[in-house]
Chains A and B, each alone.
Chain A
Amino acid sequence: MASVNKLGQHQARMAYLFITPTMLLFAVFMVIPVVMALYLSFTNYDVLSSHDWVGLDNYRRLAGDALLWQTFLNVMYYAVVFVPLNLLISLLLAMLLNKRKVGVKLFRTFYYLPTLTSAVAAATVWIWMLHPEYGLINGLLAYLGITGPAWVSQTETAMLSIIVMTLWQSVGSNMIIYLAGLQGVPEHLYESARLDGASRFACFRYITWPQLRPTTFLVSVMAIIGALQLFDQAFVLTQGGPANVTKTPVYLIYQQGFNQLQMGYASAQAFVLAMAILVFSIISMRITKAEEPIV
Chain B
Amino acid sequence: MTADSVPQTKSNPQPERLGVPMRKRGLNIIFYVICSVIAVVMFLPFYWSVLTSFKPDNEMFSMPIKWITTNITFEHYYNAFTTVPFGLYFWNSFVLATAGVLLNLFFGSLSGYAFAKLNFRMNKPFFRILLISMMVPGIVTMIPSVYVLRHIPFAGGNDLFGSGGYGLMNSFWGIILPGASGTFAVFFMRQFFLTLPSDMMETARIEGCGEFRIFWRIYLPLTKPALATLAIFTFQAGWNSFLWPMIVLNDPAKATIQMGLQAFSYNYQTDYGPMMAGALVAILPILVLFLMLQRYFIQGIAFSGIKG
Give A residues with C-beta under 8 Å from B: 7-8, 10-12, 14-16, 18-19, 21-23, 25-26, 28-30, 32-34, 36-37, 40, 45, 47, 93, 96-105, 107-114, 116-122, 124-129, 131, 133-134, 136, 139-140, 142-143, 168, 172-174, 176-177, 179-181, 183-184, 215, 218-219, 222, 225, 228-229, 231-232, 235-236, 239, 249-250, 253-254, 257-258, 263, 266-267, 270-271, 273-274, 277-278, 281-282, 284-285, 287-288, 294-295
Contact B46 A176 (CB under 8 A): no
What are the residues of chain B within 8 A of A101 when measuring CB–CB?
A: 11, 28, 31
- List A contacts of B32 (CB < 8 A): 103
- Which listed residue, A119, A218, A273, touches B308 by the CB 8 Å rule? A218
B48 near A128: Cβ-Cβ < 8 Å:
yes
Q: A100-B11, A278-B135 are in contact. Are A133 and B276 (CB under 8 A)?
A: no
Contact A32 B148 (CB under 8 A): yes
A118 touches B177 (CB 8 A): no
Q: Known contacts A26-B181, A93-B38, A111-B42; is A232 also within 8 Å of B242 by CB?
A: yes
Q: Is the CB of A33 within 8 A of B34?
A: no
Q: By the criterion CB–CB under 8 Å, are A180 and B272 in contact?
A: no
- B98 interfacial contact with A, CB 8 Å: no
Residues of A within 8 A of B147 (CB): 33, 36, 40, 45, 263
Question: Given B126, B177, B306, which contacts A29 in the complex, CB threshold below 8 Å?
Answer: B177
List 6 additional A-B contacts (Cβ < 8 Å) besides A36-B144, A136-B45. Answer: A118-B239, A176-B305, A183-B7, A250-B243, A263-B147, A274-B137
When the two chains form their complex, are residues B42 and A113 in contact, meaning their CB atoms are under 8 A apart?
yes
In the complex where A100-B12, A143-B64 touch, is A19 in contact with B287 (Cβ < 8 A)?
Answer: no
A105 and B142: CB pair below 8 A?
A: no
A249 and B115 CA atoms in complex are apart in Å by 37
Interface of B, helix, strand, loop or mixed by DSSP: helix
Are A34 and B276 in contact, with the CB atoms below 8 A? no
**B143 lies within 8 A of A131 (CB):** no
Total of A-B residue pairs, C-beta within 8 Å: 307
- In the bound complex, residues from chain B placing their C-beta under 8 Å from that of A254 are 243, 247
A119/B240 in contact, CB under 8 A? yes
Which residues of A lie under 8 Å from residue B122 when comparing CB positions?
16
Q: Least Cβ distance of B81 to chain A in Å?
A: 16
By a CB distance below 8 angstroms, the chain A residues around B266 are: 239
Residue B61 interfacial (CB < 8 Å) = yes
* From B38, B119, B148, B261, contact of A15 by CB (8 A): B119
> Of B4, B9, B141, B272, which is within 8 A of A37 by CB?
B141
- A-chain residues with CB within 8 Å of residue B69 when the two chains form the complex: none
CB proximity to A under 8 Å, residues B41-80: 42-46, 48-49, 52, 60-65
Known: A102-B13, A295-B128. A288 touches B287 (CB 8 A): no
Given the interface pairs A113-B46, A270-B140, the reply to whether A124 lies near B145 with Cβ below 8 Å is: no
Residues of chain B within 8 A of A294, CB atoms compared = 131, 191, 307
| Contact assessment for A177 and B302 in the assembled complex, using a CB-CB cutoff below 8 Å | yes
Do the beta carbons of A23 and B126 come within 8 Å of each other?
A: yes
Could you say which of A11, A104, A274, A282 contacts B211, with CB atoms under 8 Å apart? A11
Contact among A176, A218, A263, A285 with B301 in the assembled complex (CB-CB below 8 Å): A176
Contact of A136 with B65 in the complex, beta carbons under 8 Å: yes
Are A121 and B283 neighbours in the complex by a CB distance under 8 Å? yes
Decide if B133 is an interface residue (CB 8 Å cutoff): yes
Verify if B186 is at the interface (C-beta below 8 Å from A). yes
Q: A127, B275: Cβ atoms under 8 Å?
A: yes
The complex places the Cα of A36 from the Cα of B140 at a distance, in Å, of 10
Residue of A nearest to B108 (CB): A22
Nearest opposing residue in chain A for B7, CB measure: A179
A110 near B42 with CB under 8 A, answer yes
B279 near A125 with CB under 8 A, answer: yes
CA distance A134 to B275 in the complex (A): 15
Whether A100 touches B48, Cβ cut-off 8 Å, given contacts A14-B118, A15-B118, is no
Residues 239-281 of B, flagged 1 when their CB comes within 8 A of A and 0 if not, give: 1101100010000000000100110011000001001101110
A22–B11 Cα distance when bound, in Å, is: 43
| Highest count of chain B CB atoms <10 Å: which of A47, A100, A125, A139 | A125
Output the least CB separation between B115 and chain A (Å). 7
Residues of A within 8 A of B115 (CB): 19
Q: How far is the CB of B148 from chain A (nearest CB, A)?
A: 6
Contacts of A284 in B (CB 8 A): 308
Q: Cβ of B126: which chain A residues have Cβ within 8 Å of it?
A: 19, 23
Q: Is B114 engaged at the interface, CB distance under 8 Å to the other chain? A: yes
CB atoms of B145 and A33 under 8 A apart: yes
Tell me the chain B residues, 177-197 only, with Cβ under 8 Å from chain A. Answer: 177-178, 180-181, 183, 186, 191
Q: Smallest CB–CB gap between B186 and chain A, Å?
A: 6
